[in-house]
């Protein structure tokens, strides 16, 4: 175990090193405290939810692995979340899907109301957390032939009502917690093989979204976001809600465009899209994940992609208009540990980006001194960033270094292993 004195000494040395570059580490840590990562609930139970517990996962989504200890009830899921949040510095948000109702009622997707999530709200307020929301337009019999773009009027109206009610639930979350709630809309509509008519489903989707969003909601409580994708399993040839469709929709409706880093080709740089959209849009909602092979949703690690995401947000002053969420689900490892690893890494990446002398680098760039720009950005990689991170964890009363792993192992032995 690292002694507090050692952490403080290492931090003081790091503070001096960064000060030489004009970076105030105290100010940086205050900035980091304002960053709220929206941790996704579905990592804890493999995207099953509690509204339709016997419904098979569908919509081109798959979870691999069968590690013991998955949450089976809302109470168990909140218990696991409490453990995860206790090991992550700062106060953040939880991202809920509509299927995570906590009620004794049998409630259909087009009947959900704020009261079906009251226990989640009470828990969030007790813990000082925000809540994001997502309509669940998959894993339902009525989603088999499409949802908001479905040819069948009755099916389409069913999902319009579900989306409409999801917006009201998100608004309720924002009002109750005092933290804006992002209502993220994603749907798996598409075709396994090549369709003839590619336009009509997109027109129907546009009309359905407009209809579901007719009621104006105060953006201090809730903001809509739309999320595109390239393809899903069983939907390889055609996706109705592509990136281009939703980018156009978000810009023309002045809502958030969601960029999921797993929804692009593995060699594509999703971070480059941030600044391309920023001059035109309301802002961005991120689903940070790790696509080893397309949308494989591996746990976020401190790789080049994650650091580019953080650097792009910080360097272009997009922190205030970018909502950071996570989206991975790995059932091959301890699910609580997956949350902690992914969330801590996301925060580390933001901290690393904040510790750069961005103003100086921009001036160097304006002068055309690309040699110095390259030299300085490379030197930054070896500065004692970890000492600042350790001190930040210490200041936020969470474990420093690898100490949190022991707590996860104890939790697995005492709690997770008891679940059958």
CB 226 within 8 A of CB 185: yes
| Alpha-carbon gap, residue 179 to 87, rounded angstroms | 22
CA gap 48, 212 in Å, rounded: 25
Catalytic residue among 45, 132, 171, 327: 327
> Is 260 a known active-site residue?
yes
Placement of tokens 């953006």 in the chain = 219
> Which listed residue (227, 311, 330, 390) is catalytic?
227
Distance CA 239, CA 50 (A): 28
Specify whether 122 is catalytic.
Answer: no
Could you confirm whether 93 is annotated as catalytic?
no
Report helix angle 304-315 to 358-366, nearest 10: 80
Query: Torsion-angle region of residue 277: left (phi > 0), alpha (psi -120 to 50) or beta?
Result: alpha
**Active-site position among 263, 323, 348, 399:** 263
CA neighbor of 399 nearest in space, from 409, 390, 411, 410: 390
Please indicate whether residue 389 is annotated as part of the active site. Answer: no
Q: In this structure, are residues 353 and 314 in contact, taking their beta carbons and an 8 Å threshold?
A: yes
Q: Dig out the tokens for 129 from the structure.
A: 């957390």
Catalytic residue list contains 54: no
Q: What DSSP assignment string belongs to 196-256?
A: S-SSHHHHHHHHHHHHHT-S---TTTEEEEEE--S--TT--SEESS-HHHHHHHHHHHT-E
Residue 294, class by beta-carbon neighbours within 10 Å (0-12 exposed, 13-18 middle, 19+ buried)? middle
Give yes or no: 390 in active site: no
d(CA 266, CA 304): 12
Catalytic: which of 297, 311, 330, 412? 297
| Catalytic member of 92, 140, 142, 287 | 287
- Which of 295, 311, 390, 412 is the catalytic position? 295
Among 186, 257, 339, 404, the one annotated catalytic: 186
Tell me if residue 15 is catalytic: no
Whether 352 is a known active-site residue: answer no
**Which of the following is catalytic: 260, 311, 330, 412?**
260
Between CA 300 and CA 123 the distance in angstroms is 26
Q: Does residue 263 carry a catalytic annotation?
A: yes
Which position among 92, 229, 323, 348 bears the catalytic label?
229
Instruction: Give the active site residues.
Output: 186, 227, 229, 260, 263, 287, 295, 297, 327
């Amino acid at each position: 175990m690292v002694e507090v004195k050692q952490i403080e000494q290492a931090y003081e040395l790091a503070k001096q090193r960064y000060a030489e570059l004009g970076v105030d580490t105290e100010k940086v840590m205050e900035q980091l405290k304002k960053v709220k990562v929206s941790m996704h609930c579905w990592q804890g139970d493999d995207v099953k939810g509690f509204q339709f517990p016997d419904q098979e996962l569908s919509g081109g989504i798959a979870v691999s692995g069968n590690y013991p200890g998955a949450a089976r009830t809302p109470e168990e899921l909140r218990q696991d979340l409490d453990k995860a949040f206790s090991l992550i510095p700062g106060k953040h948000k939880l991202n809920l899907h509509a299927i995570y109702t906590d009620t004794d009622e049998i409630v259909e997707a087009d009947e959900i109301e704020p009261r079906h999530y009251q226990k989640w709200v009470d828990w969030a307020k007790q813990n000082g957390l925000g809540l994001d929301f997502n309509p669940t337009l998959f894993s339902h019999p009525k989603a088999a032939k499409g949802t908001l773009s479905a040819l069948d009027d009755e099916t389409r109206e069913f999902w319009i009502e579900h989306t409409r009610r999801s917006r009201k639930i998100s608004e309720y979350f924002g009002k109750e917690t005092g933290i804006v709630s992002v209502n993220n809309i994603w749907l798996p509509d598409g075709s396994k093989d090549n369709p003839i008519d590619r336009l009509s489903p997109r027109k129907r989707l546009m009309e359905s979204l407009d209809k579901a969003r007719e009621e104006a909601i105060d953006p201090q409580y809730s903001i809509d976001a739309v999320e595109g994708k390239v393809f899903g399993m069983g939907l390889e040839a055609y996706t109705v809600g592509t990136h281009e469709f939703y980018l156009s929709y978000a810009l023309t409706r002045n809502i958030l465009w969601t960029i999921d880093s797993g929804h692009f080709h593995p060699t594509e740089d999703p971070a480059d899209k941030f600044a391309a959209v920023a001059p035109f849009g309301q802002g961005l909602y991120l689903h940070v994940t790790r696509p080893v092979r397309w949308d494989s949703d591996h746990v976020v690690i401190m790789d080049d992609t994650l650091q580019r995401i953080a650097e792009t947000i910080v360097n272009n002053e997009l922190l205030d208009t970018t909502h950071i969420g996570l989206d991975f689900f790995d059932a091959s490892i301890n699910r609580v540990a997956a949350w902690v690893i992914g969330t801590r890494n996301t925060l580390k990446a933001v901290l690393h980006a904040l510790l750069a002398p961005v103003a100086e680098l921009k001036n160097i760039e304006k002068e055309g001194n690309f040699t110095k720009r390259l030299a300085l950005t490379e030197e930054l990689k070896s500065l004692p960033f970890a000492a600042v991170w350790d001190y930040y964890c210490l200041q936020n009363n969470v474990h420093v270094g690898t100490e949190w792993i022991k707590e996860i192992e104890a939790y697995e032995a005492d709690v997770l292993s008891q679940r059958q």
